[in-house]
């Protein structure tokens, strides 16, 4: 790949996806405090805004470079599920999703720090979440695998109760690689 990014994220999953796709990048997390969404804000709007704010924070600090930022949330209907704050919050999220399809929404932002100009996109995938028995739920919550994961689960961890029912697998992991490639291909002058 000819593009070198400054990844505005500390996510090991995003780093792995970029590395596996052959992109060159360095990591400079935005350290943006992710505020809870305001009432009535659509999940896609919320994810896109957070991605833009993360990219802008790094661009303001760096002054040059191509910043890549993303933010992934889960949504059941209009309810946005961020990363659980504790075990009780993880249980609430898991119970809310059980037996339902959950949307996994990633806002993606490419930001040119030196101009400043930016491109954005939103990718939506669907995850099917099967009902859990009380012992399965308790075992999962006790494992701590829900920590740091939007919606309280990670499809990349092969959690047996979730399957990608539609859309991009990499989006569910946290970075829609197909959409990133489309943005880069559709806007070659943006990269110069």
User: The domain that contains 76 carries what CATH number?
Assistant: 3.90.950.10
What's the confidence (pLDDT) of residue 40? 84
Residue-wise pLDDT for 58-74, tens only, equals: 999 999 999 999 999 99
User: Which residues are tagged catalytic?
Assistant: 71
Confidence band of 164 (pLDDT split at 50, 70, 90) = confident
| pTM for the whole structure | 0.89
What is the distance between the alpha carbons of residues 108 and 118, in angstroms, rounded to a whole number? 10
16 versus 162: the higher-pLDDT residue is 16
110 versus 160: the higher-pLDDT residue is 110
165 versus 57: the higher-pLDDT residue is 57
Does residue 55 register a pLDDT over 80? yes
Provide the percentage of residues in the chain whose pLDDT is more than 70.
Answer: 98
Confidence band of 123 (pLDDT split at 50, 70, 90) = very high
For the segment 122-145, the average pLDDT, to the nearest whole number, is 94
Which letter does DSSP use for residue 121 in this model?
A: E
What's the confidence (pLDDT) of residue 1? 44
What is the distance between the alpha carbons of residues 72 and 51, in angstroms, rounded to a whole number? 9
Taking the C-alpha atoms of 50, 51, 54 and 60 in order, what is their torsion angle to the nearest 10 degrees?
-120
Does residue 93 register a pLDDT over 70? yes
For the segment 73-78, the average pLDDT, to the nearest whole number, is 90
Q: Which domain holds residue 128?
A: 4-191
Phi, psi (rounded to 5 degrees) for 87: -60, -40
Count of structural domains within the chain:
1
Confidence band of 106 (pLDDT split at 50, 70, 90) = very high
Tell me, rounded to whole angstroms, the distance of Cα 11 from its chain centroid: 9
Does residue 113 register a pLDDT over 80? yes
């Amino acid at each position: 790949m000819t593009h070198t990014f400054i990844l505005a994220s500390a996510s090991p999953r995003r780093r792995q996806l970029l590395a596996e796709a052959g992109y060159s990048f360095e990591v400079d997390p935005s350290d943006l405090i992710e505020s809870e969404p305001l009432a009535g804000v659509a999940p896609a709007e919320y994810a896109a805004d957070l991605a833009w704010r993360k990219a802008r924070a790094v661009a303001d600090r760096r002054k040059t470079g191509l910043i890549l930022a993303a933010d992934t949330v889960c949504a059941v209907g209009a309810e946005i599920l961020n990363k659980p704050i504790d075990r009780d919050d993880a249980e609430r999220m898991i119970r809310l999703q059980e037996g339902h399809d959950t949307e996994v929404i990633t806002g993606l932002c490419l930001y040119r720090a030196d101009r400043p100009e930016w491109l954005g996109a939103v990718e939506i995938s669907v995850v099917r979440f099967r009902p859990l028995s009380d012992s399965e739920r308790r075992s999962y919550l006790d494992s701590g695998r829900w920590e740091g994961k939007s919606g309280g689960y990670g499809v990349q961890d092969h959690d047996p109760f979730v399957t990608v029912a539609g859309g991009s697998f990499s989006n569910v992991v946290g970075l829609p690689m197909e959409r990133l490639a489309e943005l880069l291909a559709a806007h070659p002058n943006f990269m110069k």
